[in-house]
Structure 1
Amino acid sequence: MTPTPDVLELAAELRAALMRTSRILRTEASSDVVSPGQNTVLALLNKRGPLTMRQLADIEHVQAPSMTRTVNHLCERGFVARAEHPTDGRQVVVSLTPDGRQVLEESRRLRAAWLAGRLEGLPDADRAALHRAAELLLEMTAR
């Protein structure tokens, strides 16, 4: 049996594993229709509903011009729609379209399929350990 790492070692190991898995899921298991960053904006709009350009930029920690380029591309493809802000004529509200929702669902399907393919090759005990790890991570992040 391997010794339990101290908390800082475990944190570093988990961070590295989560970051690598996330990066692979964002790039290799994404659709060719939108970039990983554009997919993130679609997911954000799906989860939170319509948002202003400023809200999107702030949530994604990017500058407004960068978010404008992303939204312009998504709008040109018909994946998001712009509308006037109901109370502030200087702002624009961005919302997900049905086509955008379809692209998002396909991307999620591809990511789940990629991950399922990796899990299929694991022994039952390892899959059970990952199941418990996922539960623990969700519990930790819910606090």
Structure 2
Amino acid sequence: MTTAPDQPDLLEAATAIRQGTQRLARRVRTVRSAGALSTNKISVLSHLARLGPSTPGEVAALDRQQPQSLTRVFADLERDGLVVRSADAGDRRQSIIAITDTGLRELQRDVAERDAWLAGALVGLSETERQVLVLAAALMEQIADG
């Protein structure tokens, strides 16, 4: 973990960015329809869609959780046909979880719903303001990957 810089302007910028991203993330989560999958389930499906079949430990590590914390999530997703579980060919004690076509469609539906809300919220901004946000999003991805 990195330590916070001593420069007050960087700390102020970090605080403003954190507060803005957290408020927006909470708002986007609240616009999901009733009966939508939990954020844990969406996170698991997102990881599997992006990375392909993975072990429970690999998926849990991406969310900084223990695999045991997601046991019920994995079971629910499998029961609902959104993921399939198979034995690892290299280590039969280990399971591999993969997203199904149904799971991918459910993930895409959830993402589309949130993107539609956000697109509507962007209507009130100028083209320049929207481009600033697009640039900021790219920079936040860069920071998150770093």
Secondary structure of the 2:133 match is: helix
Deviates more, 1:19-28 or 1:114-123: 19-28
**Counterpart of 2:71 in structure 1: which amino acid?**
T
How big is each residue's C-alpha offset from its partner over 1:85-119, in whole Å with a ceiling of 9 and x where there is no partner?
Answer: 11111111100000000001111101110110100
Which of 14, 19, 22 is matched with 1:19 structurally?
22
**Counterpart of 1:44 in structure 2: which amino acid?**
H
Kindly tell me: are residues 135 and 75 of structure 1, through their superposed partners in 2, closer, same or farther at Cα, counting changes over 3 Å? closer
Match of 1:8? 11
- Cα deviation, residue 75, structure 1: 0.6
Match of 1:58? 61
- Report if the CA contact (8 A) 1:75-1:82 is conserved: yes
Instruction: Note if 1:42 corresponds to 2:8.
Output: no
Quick one: distance in 1 between partners of 2:92 and 2:32? 39
Match of 2:79? 76
Quick one: distance in 2 between partners of 1:53 and 1:125? 42
**Counterpart of 1:124 in structure 2: which amino acid?**
E
- Cα deviation, residue 139, structure 1: 4.5
Kindly tell me: are residues 22 and 48 of structure 1, through their superposed partners in 2, closer, same or farther at Cα, counting changes over 3 Å? same
Which of 75, 97, 112 is matched with 1:109 structurally?
112
- Cα deviation, residue 130, structure 1: 2.1
- Report if the CA contact (8 A) 1:42-1:100 is conserved: yes
Secondary structure of the 1:6 match is: helix
Q: Give the TM-score of the pair, scaled to structure 2.
A: 0.83
Quick one: distance in 2 between partners of 1:24 and 1:38? 18
Segments of structure 1 that go 5 or more residues without pairing to the other structure are none
Quick one: distance in 1 between partners of 2:142 and 2:63? 24
Segments of structure 2 that go 5 or more residues without pairing to the other structure are 1-7
- Report if the CA contact (8 A) 1:54-1:64 is conserved: yes
- Report if the CA contact (8 A) 2:88-2:96 is conserved: yes
Match of 2:3? none
**Counterpart of 1:132 in structure 2: which amino acid?**
L
Kindly tell me: are residues 73 and 141 of structure 1, through their superposed partners in 2, closer, same or farther at Cα, counting changes over 3 Å? closer
